[in-house]
């Protein structure tokens, strides 16, 4: 309340990046392979992945999703539960630039970008962790996605450099 430090912890990440949700903090080495999940009071777990981490998000219940490089694909998505157990992995042919968890943390919306005939396009794909097939894929939006996520009324929003779009379920 007065700006006093409640706790502090060390990390050895060279290019540390942080995302938060609920009581959880995801800390990862951007361009490296290490990440960790913390709460206010403790380190929950730390792990390494096989490929360099490009981005990551955490849900309110501590589920972690990482976008990593891939040797054979544009990128890969790896998802862990709040104990560090791997829940899901997806090799992506599209270049994923942003992730947002569904409200119940049982899936993600992936925002990907591509260039077709000189036009930048962003597309949203909704997945759940217990299905192989996607739930839905949006029509391409002619903008470069800057940020995406769910609004308070559960509409998915993509904000791009020239436009934004809202998607319902």
Quick one: pLDDT at residue 114?
A: 94
- pLDDT band at residue 64 using 50, 70 and 90 as cut-offs: very high
d(CA 80, CA 97): 19
Instruction: Please say whether the beta carbons of 24 and 38 come within 8 A.
Output: yes
pLDDT of 5 over the 90 cut: no
For 101, 152, 155, 161, the CA distances from 65, given in Å and listed in that order, are 8, 21, 20, 25
pTM passes above 0.95: no
Task: Scan for tokens 């270049």, then name that residue.
Answer: 95
pLDDT of 2 over the 80 cut: no
List the one residue out of 127, 130, 93 whose CA is nearest residue 110: 127
For 6, 7, 21, 42, 55, the CA distances from 3, given in Å and listed in that order, are 9, 12, 21, 20, 29
- pLDDT band at residue 132 using 50, 70 and 90 as cut-offs: confident
Averaged pLDDT, 55-66: 97
């Amino acid at each position: 309340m007065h700006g006093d430090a409640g706790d502090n912890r060390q990390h050895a990440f060279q290019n540390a990046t942080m995302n938060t949700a609920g009581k959880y903090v995801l800390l990862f080495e951007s361009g490296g392979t290490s990440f960790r999940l913390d709460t206010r009071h403790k380190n929950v777990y730390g792990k390494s992945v096989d490929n360099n981490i490009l981005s990551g998000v955490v849900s309110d219940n501590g589920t972690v999703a990482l976008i990593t490089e891939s040797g054979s694909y544009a990128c890969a998505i790896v998802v862990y539960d709040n104990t560090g157990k791997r829940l899901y992995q997806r090799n992506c042919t599209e270049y994923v630039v942003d992730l947002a968890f569904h409200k119940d943390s049982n899936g993600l919306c992936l925002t990907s970008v591509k260039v077709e005939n000189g036009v930048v396009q962003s597309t949203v794909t909704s997945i759940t962790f217990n299905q192989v097939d996607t739930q839905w894929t949006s029509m391409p939006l002619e903008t470069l996605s800057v940020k995406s996520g769910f609004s308070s009324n559960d509409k998915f929003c993509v904000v791009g450099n020239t436009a934004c779009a809202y998607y319902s379920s």
